[in-house]
Structure formats: structure tokens, C-alpha cells
A and B are shown apart, each in its own frame.
Chain A
């Protein structure tokens, strides 16, 4: 049922964006967390997406029936001739990485988590950056919802062909 493809593609996109929003919210909530179960301050998490070949049979049928133009590389990025295969791809969360750079150190000897020198390790989360990411993730989520609505609208109008 290839015509229901579009719903699934947008659905995967919605799930991926939701994981991203959850991760960013967790970062914002833990911006001041100095102790965790595995020791040390909270480490910033980030999601990495991956494009996957969504419906292999459908993509192979598309490849047989269409010709693929190689990338013309208008900005000379060294990618000339790249072929647009697979034709239709959706997105999944490939991994959630942990930021292992050094945490921010603040001098506060009276803090219970202060180390021998009186420094407390805070997670290096910048709330402004996280908020900007959150806004962008929300916008991507809304774009995926719009794609879903559009596909539903098209399927609905095709069904009106059957009526009367």
C-alpha cells in the first residue's frame, strides 16, 4: 500500500523530533545538576539522526522506473556526481551521544559537591543554546505535522472520487 507511505514517513519524522525535544528538555532541566548516578555532573546529551531507506521495495521500483541525475554541485563542495539513491528516505534516531568535554568549574567551597580544591563541576549546558534548539525542533515537528495533514488531505480527496 504505497499510498500510505507518506503517513509513515512523516510519522517517523515526528517520533524523531519528539526524541530530540525530550533530550533538549532533559538538558535544560538538568542544567544545574552536579551529581549523577555514574558520578560527576550531568553530561549534555545530543541526538544524531540518520536517513534510512524507508520502503526498500518501493525505492527499488522507483529506481527502475526513473533516471537519476547526478548532483551538479553548484557550490563546488566536492560532491559532484552524487546520485540521489535511495529515492525516498525517512529518519530515525541513530544515537544519543553524550558530551564528554570538560565541565564548567565554579569556585564554591561550601557546596557539598566541591572537590578538594573547592571547585564544583557544573554541566556545560548553555540554556540559551538549548532554547534555540528547542524552538528549531518544535518548528521541524510542526513542519512534519503539516506534511502529515497534507498527505491526509490528498488521500481524502482521492476517496471522494469513489463517492458519487
Chain B
């Protein structure tokens, strides 16, 4: 079940909590760094999904269900990241709209 849990850990709140839990010496968290890590994770899953697709194409896939899982993870992580991005953008726009 570790694979499924690793998708959950993409949400920035969890990443922040993990980071602040492991680095006990500083309470500061770098939001840009977390974002970069999250995007890197999603990118890694896309790369693995592409590799799974090319494995199916060349016929050298070991287990069809492993390839299907990899492609599924790519799709879900991408969709999740898009939704988070949309929410973040709309939150930012909301903030810029506040009257001072």
C-alpha cells in the first residue's frame, strides 16, 4: 500500500508537515522548494508512465498490471496537480481582488 500512500503525500500540506517534522532545527519551510519537489514527483511519475507505455509497445513488459498501475499513477498525479494548481491560482486571484 506504500504506492498509494505516496500519491497522497503529494499534497503540499503533507509535504510541509513532513519537512517540518524531519528538520527539527528550523521551523522555516521553503514553499518554492516544496513546489519544485512536488512538480518533480509528478514529472517522475509521467516519465515512468511513458516508460511503461514504451515497454508495452516493445513487448518487453514484465507484468501488464505493473505497467497499467504506472500509467494510472501518472494520470492521477497529473490530474491532482492540475486541480491544486487551479485552486492555488484562483486563491491568488481572490487575494489580489481584496480591497485594501
A and B touch in the complex (CB under 8 A): no
Residues of A within 8 A of B (CB): none
Residues of B within 8 A of A (CB): none
